[in-house]
Amino acid sequence: MDRIRIRGGRPLEGSIPVSGAKNATLPLMAAALLSDGPLVLRNAPDLADIATMRALLIQHGLTVEHDREARTLTLAGEASHLEAPYDLVRKMRASVLVLGPLVARHGRARVSLPGGCSIGTRPVDLHLKGLEAMGATITLDAGYIGAEAPNGLKGARIIFPVVSVGATENLLMAACLAEGETELVNAAREPEIEDLARCLVAMGARIEGIGTDRLHVTGATHLAAATHDIVPDRIEAGTYACAAAITGGSVLLQGARAEHLGAVARTLREAGVEVAAEGDDLRISRLNGLHGVDVMTEPFPGFATDMQAQFMALMAVAEGASMITETIFENRFMHVPELNRMGARINAHGASAIVRGVPRLSGAPVMATDLRASVSLILAGLAAEGETIVNRVYHLDRGYERVEQKLAAVGADIERIPG
């Protein structure tokens, strides 16, 4: 099993290209099930999760070509197999996003209950209740979701009791082929959902309210071929912003968009980090000291839960104390004991963690527990004295493309050790 070795203490200087967003690419790939295509997705990242979704769609009967040099995915064909098996779905929670498109286009689907990172239960009940409101019959049997709508889905008014990114994506795609009009109220507003909606419009969908919490969809009889540029990955951009800040460096994030960072950009500034637009890029610099800032994770445009672990690593070396409160997922403080092994002073209790900044961290062998936790340990290693070994980096490969190469290119002493 691969490991990553870091020798810390080197400020990062230079430019890092921001890849296409993983969390946008996965639903965009699922959207190919709505049309014979081809659907061409440009700026596609090369990640383990993308490979998993590719395998799932090929299993359904689509052709999926991934040109890594051109950074494009080309998806085409009609699903001939309507079951998403456990062996594939267990690897990645986003696999459940095939449910809505399959039912909308083919009238039925059977999808295993999903897996992914162990950061909480993350139930799919909102996905299922929404499909039921649109006329589908849902059954749960032997770990599988069965959904049938032999006469097609019907438009409905769906009010989400809580904001759900996955349910918004699944039901938005389903609504594009449902008969009549669908309204999604209290819909998630993440940039990845806006990106999905714009791609669906390019395919012929009729969607109003893009970028707001109220989406109105007029169903179409079919969707057509399209070409779409995937939005840059705001979580990758935020992660490398923390890398620049934690090392006291200055890095240009190529393609990053400040408006997509939401509260993350504001919080970084409050902590003493400069976040400045330079054309289509973002310059991240830390010229002076860091100071503690309190954070609470919230749906976009609030502070992203996927940035919580990285910001905690940054606060571990900030002056003063900060409180970090996680409101989206339970079990998302599993990186705390590992950061403490490196000399951090973090006390987690329930949904909150108190971080008391220390002057420096010390390198140590640590264990990654999930995708974002793994990269928080890399950030800590960049700032630590001595050598840090991050184990179980297969989590990292799910969501970060060539992370060790990108960091090495801006001065980090980092390398992958093959397992």
Catalytic-role residue among 117, 176, 199, 242: 117
Q: Is 22 annotated as a binding residue?
A: yes
One-letter amino acid at 156 equals A
Phi-psi region of 16 (alpha: psi -120 to 50; beta: other; left: phi over 0): beta
Q: Is 206 annotated as a binding residue?
A: no
User: How far is the C-alpha of 308 from the C-alpha of 328, rounded, in Å?
Assistant: 10
Known active-site residue 117: yes
Q: Is 122 annotated as a binding residue?
A: yes
Q: Which residue in 197, 151, 135 sits closest to 172, CA to CA?
A: 197
Residues in a beta bridge with 45? none
Residues in a beta bridge with 183? 157, 216
Q: Is 23 annotated as a binding residue?
A: yes
Q: Is 123 annotated as a binding residue?
A: yes
Q: Which residue in 293, 289, 257 sits closest to 275, CA to CA?
A: 257
Q: Is 126 annotated as a binding residue?
A: yes
Q: Is 124 annotated as a binding residue?
A: yes
The annotated binding site for UDP-N-acetyl-alpha-D-glucosamine is made up of 93, 122-126, 306, 328
The annotated binding site for phosphoenolpyruvate is made up of 22-23
The annotated binding site is made up of 22-23, 93, 122-126, 306, 328
Instruction: Indicate which residues carry an active-site annotation.
Output: 117
